[in-house]
Amino acid sequence: MVTLRVNGEDRQVDVPPDMPLLWVLRDVIGLTGTKFGCGIAQCGACTVHLDNQPVRSCQLPVSAIGDRAITTIEAIGQTPEGAKVQQAWLAVDVVQCGYCQSGQIMAAAALLARVPNPTDRDIDTAMSGNICRCATYVRIREAIKQAATGQQHGLQVVVDGSAA
Amino acid sequence: MRRFLIIVVVLLAVGVGAYFFLNRTDPDDGTAPVLAGAPTNADPVARGEYLTTAADCVACHTSHDGGKPFAGGLAFKLPFGTIYSSNITPDKETGIGTWTDDEFVRAVREGIRKDGKHLYPAFPYTAYTQLSRADVLAIKAYLFSLPPVHQPEKPNELGFPFNQRWAMGFWNAAFFRSQRFQADASRSPEWNAGAYLGGPLGHCAECHTPRNFGFALKHGEALAGEVVQGWRAYNITSDPTHGIGKWSDEALTQYLRTGHAEGHASANGPMGEAIAYSLQHWKPEDTAALVTWLRTVPAREGDDPIVVDAAPKAMVASSAVAPGGDDGKADAEGLRLFEGACASCHQWNGAGQQTAYAALAGTRGVNDPKGANVTEAILEGVKMRIGDNDVYMPAFGHAYSDTEVAALANYVIRHFGGKQGEVTPADVAKRRAE
């Protein structure tokens, strides 16, 4: 039996010590917002936070977590940065197929918590481990800037009436 | 003319005499120090299993492409050709099922197989010659308790003259002495156990000791480090700068039992295999004995000595999640690759997350300007089972070009080691071919 602190709640799970956190989250606890992408820590789709640091949950054995706090996409909206990122994500309509967005939002929220007003270079460094097969990178960058500044930038959805 | 003939005959006689004298077999059965994991009163098969694990027979006698354990077929790509390991399961046709005790002991300790032909010293009889007969027979008892696997041996790919097994008699005359382990009465029983574990049994020197022109160990340079099949086996002498003299006993023990020592090293490649198959299974007392002995290995600098910079400028200027202090122009390509594929686990400050094994700070790998093990790790990744967990890093050999691997390796060496990396795309191509 392992006790994990997930989104502020203690969860008791009976899993082998080498089970990656992603499996525990999705298959055991039932939090399926975090996605399986590559399985080898190379695409970022499975990103969650451990004590506010982004980690790849597909390559994180549950036995290595200890008492560190796990935050997933289901609860990131309860943090100020997470809420801002999610709003900007909708405003800019970042998503195309949407598969990578849980991981993108987790990485972006961690970036803003650390660097409130990131430069393009900061964004590249923090986000380049998160791959988007639809190549929405331009919108991802816009949304992060909008979340940071609260100001609308170049790319807004037309129905919003504010397209540049 | 007659005088000339006499000289020839005398020289021949001296030569033949010297050949047989230098190839003589030590008649002593030999006595092994007491090992915690193989007490003398234990069942021979159980003792043999521990000794077989300690000698890591399985690592070389199993092919990497899904081969059955001990059935052989692993390729040793050497400068003069390729040698394949043999089937040591008790199969009567393709293994060693018909070998007698004496034949097995002769093969292990003298390098002469059942049919009387010489083995190549890729099989370390040069180290095993010091094993006691009782230990060798315990290993045989264990091997004979395994299921036989019918798997014919792969013929070696050696050109003339290396394919002439009889010629190894001359190699042996020059470089090999049949002799049993001699305990040093002036040292503790623990030290002697460590010497036996690290010498004849664990054969550390086979990878860690530099080799001479004849591909034999340079005993005067024992354990000062060598490159084997592209991987660098580091200097493990007590030298404080270039060896492991500054490592604490705890760090050495942690490394030998788990393959990772905080701030010093994470095993991968052949050493990762040695940890995964052998060292992690040793009794803690035997690990302690090995550490005791390693501490007394005379300090040596070795070739291409590595000086670890534990706090290089760029690494220190970085946080876990963001780089700092890099030379933008020189490092741009490597940095771009690192941020996309490596940073999420290794982190910019070298601390590493996901697994402690991802910590790069202070390791000799990133402090080796030649970048042997950094390059190999990028190409091949890491996959080993330690205790209850997998230690894993993906292989990037198929994803990146030679130029990209070289740029990434040199970036890693500069950022985490504070040194100018010397890895060229041609080096990477060579490594791929090996």
Nearest Cβ partner of B344 from A18, A41, A64? A41
Question: Token digits for A102?
Answer: 């849980």
Summary mean pLDDT of chain B:
95
Q: A114–B322: do the CB atoms touch at under 8 Å?
A: yes
User: Does any domain span residue B228?
Assistant: yes
Distance set, CA B414 to CA B90, B406, B422 (Å) = 51, 12, 10
- Cα angle, residue B250 at apex, residues B188 and A4 outer, rounded to 5°: 145
B386: closest CA of chain A, how far (Å): 10
> Domain boundary at A44, A71, A98, which?
A71
Between chains, do A64 and B345 touch, taking CB under 8 Å as contact? no
Strands A2-6 and A69-71: parallel
Write down the pLDDT at residue A155. Answer: 60
Chain A residues whose CB is inside 8 A of the B345 CB are 41, 56, 59
Q: What is the pLDDT of residue A164?
A: 44
Task: Share the mean pLDDT of chain A.
Answer: 93
pLDDT score recorded for residue B329: 84
Q: Which of B339, B355, B388 sits opposite A129 (nearest CB)?
A: B339
Q: Identify all chain B residues contacting A17, using CB atoms and an 8 Å cutoff.
A: 388-389
**What pLDDT sits at residue A157?**
53
Contact criterion met (CB < 8 Å) for A41 and B394: yes
pLDDT band at A154 (very low <50, low <70, confident <90, very high): low
Contact yes or no for A126 and B321 at CB 8 A: yes
Examine residue B12 and state whether it is found in any structural domain, yes or no. Answer: no
The answer to whether residue B264 scores a pLDDT higher than 70 is yes
Average pLDDT over residues A121-148: 95
pLDDT over 60 (residue B52): yes
pLDDT of residue A163: 44
**Half-sphere exposure of residue A84, counting CA atoms within 13 Å on the CB side?**
21
Could you tell me if B98 and B166 are in contact, meaning their C-beta atoms sit under 8 angstroms apart? no
B343 Cβ under 8 Å from any chain A Cβ: yes
Residue A121: enclosing H or E segment and its boundaries?
Answer: helix A120-127
What B87-92 contacts at long range (C-beta under 8 Å, 24+ apart), as own/partner pairs, is B87/B61, B87/B149, B87/B151, B87/B152, B87/B153, B88/B57, B88/B61, B88/B143, B89/B143, B89/B146, B89/B147, B89/B148, B89/B149, B89/B151, B90/B143, B90/B144, B90/B146, B90/B148, B91/B148, B91/B149, B91/B150, B91/B151, B92/B148
Q: Indicate which CATH number applies to the domain containing A29.
A: 3.10.20.30
Q: Check if B351 contacts A (Cβ < 8 Å).
A: no
Is residue B218 situated within a structural domain? yes
Domain that holds residue A86: 77-154
Mutate to test the interface with B, among A18, A57, A122, A128 (most CBs of B within 10 A): A128
Q: Which of B262, B294, B326 is the last residue of a domain?
A: B294
DSSP state, residue A4: E
Q: Which of A37, A35, A38, A61 is nearest to A48 (CA)?
A: A35
Q: How many Å lie between the alpha carbon of A61 and the closest alpha carbon of chain B?
A: 7
Distance (Å) from the C-alpha of residue A109 to the closest C-alpha of chain B?
A: 13
Name the token pair of B167.
């010629």
Nearest to B344 among A18, A56, A111 (CB): A56
Q: Indicate yes or no: CB of B344 within 8 angstroms of CB of A60.
A: no
pLDDT above 70: percentage of residues in chain B: 100
Averaged over B399-412, what is the pLDDT? 97
pLDDT tens-place string over residues A13-51 = 999 999 999 999 999 999 999 999 999 999 999 999 999
Note whether B146 and B209 are same-domain residues: no
Average pLDDT, stretch B6-32?
92
- Separation of alpha carbons B201 and B196, rounded Å: 6
Whether residue A57 is found in the same domain as residue A81:
no
Percent of chain B past pLDDT 90, that is, above it, reads 91
Residues B208 and B275 in one domain: yes
Rounded CA gap, B267 and B391, in Å? 10
Which residues from A are below 8 Å from B353, CB to CB? Answer: 50, 53, 55
Q: In what order do the strands lie in the sheet with A9-13?
A: A9-13, A2-6, A69-71, A47-50, A53-56
**CA neighbor of B368 nearest in space, from B187, B260, B233, B246:** B233
Chain A residue with Cα closest to B385:
A18
CATH number of the domain that residue A119 is part of = 1.10.150.120
Residue B87, classed as helix, strand or coil, is coil
Give me the mean pLDDT over the B117-146 stretch.
97
Half-sphere exposure (CA, 13 Å, Cβ side) for B103? 10
Q: Are residues A112 and A86 in the same domain?
A: yes
- Full residue range of the structural domain in which residue B157 is found: 26-175
A148 & A105 share domain? yes
A68-99 tens-digit pLDDT: 999 999 999 999 999 999 999 999 999 999 99
DSSP string for residues in B259-271: SEETTTEE--HHH
Interface-testing mutation among A125, A127, A131, with chain B (most B C-beta atoms within 10 A): A125
Q: Are residues A101 and A127 in the same domain?
A: yes
Nearest beta carbon to residue A125 from set B322, B355, B394? B322
For residue B140, tell me if it sits in a domain: yes
Out of A42, A64, A115, the one facing B355 most closely (by C-beta) is: A64
Region B377-404: mean pLDDT is: 95
Res B298: pLDDT? 97
Per the CB < 8 Å rule, is B389 touching A128? Answer: no
d(CA B220, CA B307): 22
Give me the mean pLDDT over the A51-56 stretch: 95
Whether the CB of B212 is below 8 Å from some CB of chain A: the reply is no
B344 close contact with A: CB closer than 8 A: yes
Q: Is residue B187 part of a domain?
A: no
**Interface size, chain A vs chain B, as Cβ–Cβ contacts under 8 Å:** 62
Predicted-complex ipTM score: 0.89
In one-letter notation, the amino acid at residue A97 is: C
CA–CA separation, A41 vs A68, rounded Å?
20
Within a domain: B240: yes
Nearest-CA distance from B398 to chain A in Å?
14
Residues A65 and A12 in one domain: yes
Segment B293-315 mean pLDDT: 96
Distance in angstroms (rounded) separating the CA atoms of residues A10 and B263: 33
8 Å CB contact of B392 and A59: yes
Last residue of a domain, one of B294, B324, B342: B294
Q: CA B334, CA B330: separation in Å to the nearest integer?
A: 9
Instruction: Look at residues A50, A71, A92 and tell me which one is the last residue of a structural domain.
Output: A71
The number of domains in chain B is: 3
Residue A145 in this model has a pLDDT that exceeds 60:
yes
Q: Which two tokens stand for residue B17?
A: 């005499």
Domain presence at residue A162: no
Total tally of structural domains belonging to chain A = 2
Q: CA dist A20 to A67, A120, B89, B143, B385, Å?
A: 16, 32, 36, 36, 14
Residues 6 or more apart whose CB falls under 8 angstroms from that of B400 comprise B337, B378, B408
Q: Which residue has the higher pLDDT, B10 or A33?
A: A33
- pLDDT of B328: 81
- For residue B46, the model assigns a pLDDT of 97
Going by C-alpha positions, the residue among B402, B105, B14, A141 that lies closest to residue B113 is: B105
Chain A neighbors of B341, CB-CB under 8 A: 42, 129
Same domain (yes/no): B318, B285: no
Asked if the model's pLDDT at residue B243 lies above 90, the reply is yes
Q: What's the rounded Cα separation, in Å, for the pair B2 and B12?
A: 15
